[in-house]
Chain A
Amino acid sequence: MSLVTIGLLYGAATLVALFSGIPIAFALGTVAVAFMVVFMPGAAVGTVAQNVYEEMASITLLTIPLFILKGAAIGKSRAGSDLYAALHAWLHRIPGGLGVAVVVACGLFAAMAGSSAATCSAIGSSGIPAMRQRGYSPGFAAGLVAAGGTLGILLPPSITLILYAVAAEQSLGRIFLAGIGPGLLLTAMFAIYAVLRHRSEYRRAWRVAEAGGRRSAIIADDHFTLRERLYAVPRILPFLILLLGVMFALYGGIATPSETAGLGAVLALALIAAVYGAWHLSDLKPIFESTLGESGMLMLIIGMSLLYSYVMSYLHISQGAAEWIVSLHLSKWLLFTAIALLVVVLGFFLPPVSIILMTAPIILPPLKAAGFNLVWFGVVMSMIMEMGLIHPPVGLNIFVINKIAPDIGLKDIVLGTLPFVFLMTAAIVLLCVFPEIATAIPDWVYQK
């Protein structure tokens, strides 16, 4: 059987297995084992368990459960609402200050927790009601938190970036640093949008009020005394110290990424015990259960995706597909656009972890041959997958918002996220024109 036929069969079998509803981990494992049985020597089939163990027994990959534990510890505490409340107290003089506070809180929280869903849920559960109480439209409030949550897969310690570093064999420290510039760019773009949208809703509400209609809460001014502002600081200070301390440990050469993950998890648990008194079994049980539920599911997907990629590589499917893409002699940016569209489409159906591990062996060699910086591409790929978190049909963050704010209709949420999809597309274009937004920080830290 020709390589092309085997490759097409592999792709078709994967689609059938995934769309039949078999859990992703088992679907990928089934396809890989079936092709091993038919096309590979018997000895390879015999060592399938060892193969998965050896792929998973990577200390870089195993930082993932610990980063999830750190995120769960912070996410299950009141840190999220304290964070945005403190920022609001300090930013309330800016028009749309509450929206800006929510965006900045999302960015900071994402950098501590490393997870989009956790960020949306932690900031949104108190941030959305607060914004609505102050007259923000439901779609705007929902869209802002959904988009803010996406910063979780871009800012370190993003799980998506960890997997990309493993799949692309790039330095994790470099990739983490490369996510910071684009993460800040998106935070700034979201915040500016929040100000502009607030102004527009404010003006509309003012016109209605002037015409004798309902007086929206958005017109009312917030006021915080200096005492209130100062009182907000001590609650969030420990978490900012955790964030900066972990970054310092990682980049100051004190700790490796895996040690940073362990240290971060332990410090986060210690902090919520100290600040919120969350050290009883009843406090810790939900934290560990949600960590194990999410990380167990993800790690099995990762283990089986690695087996899937191993089979694809053994049968020369990935190399053949990569060579075929190179042989098309597409122009540099046409190749990039085609690959970006592929990632967008895959993002309709698959979580980022599977997309990265399944496609990396095929798409990275042509990109490298075309002269793209793979660290830069990792960040761009993450941004594309982030968009998948806030647009249908998957839109994980949309569903998280729907769960925490069930009174906002799904249509309102989707319409509210649309402007952010455009903003993210604009940020990707900016990153293509100015790749330094991503590469400057790692180049500076690592001296090229």
Chain B
Amino acid sequence: MRVPSEFDAAAPADIPSAGLLGGLQGLLNGLNTVLIAASGIAAGAAGLVLTWEVAGRYFFKIPSDWQDELSIFLLVGATFMSAAWIQARRGHVGIDALAHILPPAADRVRRFIADLVSLAFCAFFAWRCWALLIEAWEDGQISGSAWGPPLWIPYGLMTAGMSVLVAQILLQMLAQLAPAERR
């Protein structure tokens, strides 16, 4: 079984690297690099915001009203925006006990079906994220807190992250169908 262990950031797995698919993956790699850098900055910023919350309240008696919510936006954003980058490295863990039992040909079919189900779920979820984003944008929805920031911000980050994730899974599946283009 693959389990959450030391994450191997340097090892993209079974992504296309040649032909048309390779070109598209190249574009997606560029986008993922930008998104992972933004996610890193968001995670660091969340740490700073929360540190400021303690320091501001303890030393300067500044009330905490926006810091928790801003941190939530930053960390939800970092989670979804890094999803495709993780997928490119097959870092979303699953139980692959069957991989050790099935013959290679049957295992390829299993992997393809597993990817197909993942794609269907992520596409459905991304579609619902889009609907949520459009509704929040059109209705001008804001959060219920005293600070009241617009909700299209976190929904937008979720939607963008899920959409790129769908594109990444799709490319990995197409690479399986066209093995000549894989490497």
Contact = CB atoms under 8 A, between A and B. Distances in A.
B83 A300 contact: yes
Interface in A18-70: 18-27, 29-30, 33, 46-50, 52-53, 56-59, 62, 65-66, 69
Interface in B87-125: 89, 91-99, 110-111, 113-114, 117-118, 120-122, 124-125
Contact of A262 (B51, B113, B128): B51
Interface of A is mostly: helix
A394 interface: yes
A261 B128 CA distance: 31
Contact of A23 (B72, B92, B113): B92
Interface in A368-396: 393-394, 396
A327 B155 CA distance: 43
Contacts of A20: 98, 110, 113-114, 117
Interface residues of B, number: 61
B128 A396 contact: no
A62 B54 contact: no
Contact of B6 (A50, A66, A288, A400): A400
Interface string A245-276: 00001000011001101110110010000000
A399 B3 contact: yes
Interface of B is mostly: helix
B155 A53 contact: yes
A403 B8 CA distance: 12
Given A49-B128, A263-B54, A294-B7, A57 B72 contact: yes
A58 to B, nearest CB: 8
Given A258-B68, A294-B4, A24 B93 contact: yes
A290 interface: yes
The bracket for how many chain A residues form the interface is 35 or more
B39 interface: yes
Contacts of B68: 59, 258
Contacts of B86: 292-293, 296-297
Given A59-B68, A59-B71, A399 B5 contact: yes
B128 to A, nearest CB: 4
B39 A292 contact: yes
B150 interface: no
Given A26-B118, A291-B43, A49 B129 contact: yes
Given A21-B95, A261-B50, A296 B6 contact: no
A351 interface: yes
B76 A57 contact: yes
Given A288-B44, A293-B9, A62 B75 contact: yes
A410 interface: no
A18 B158 contact: no
A299 B80 CA distance: 9
Contacts of B51: 259, 262-263, 266
B18 interface: no
B47 interface: yes
A288 B128 CA distance: 29
A288 B35 CA distance: 13
Nearest to B119: A26
Contacts of A24: 92-95
B17 to A, nearest CB: 20
A297 B80 CA distance: 10
Given A19-B95, A65-B79, A266-B48, A351 B128 contact: no
Given A24-B93, A293-B91, A351-B4, A50 B132 contact: yes
B79 A21 contact: no
A266 to B, nearest CB: 5
Contacts of B99: 21
A295 B74 CA distance: 13
Interface in A290-347: 290-301, 303
Contacts of A27: 94, 117
A288 B121 CA distance: 28
A117 B110 contact: no
Contacts of B91: 293, 296-297
Contact of A56 (B46, B76, B131): B76
Given A259-B50, A297-B92, A399-B3, 5 more contacts: A21-B96, A22-B114, A62-B46, A62-B76, A296-B83
Interface of A: 17-27, 29-30, 33, 46-50, 52-53, 56-59, 62, 65-66, 69, 117-118, 121, 249, 254-255, 258-259, 261-263, 265-266, 269, 284-286, 288-301, 303, 349-351, 393-394, 396, 399-400, 403
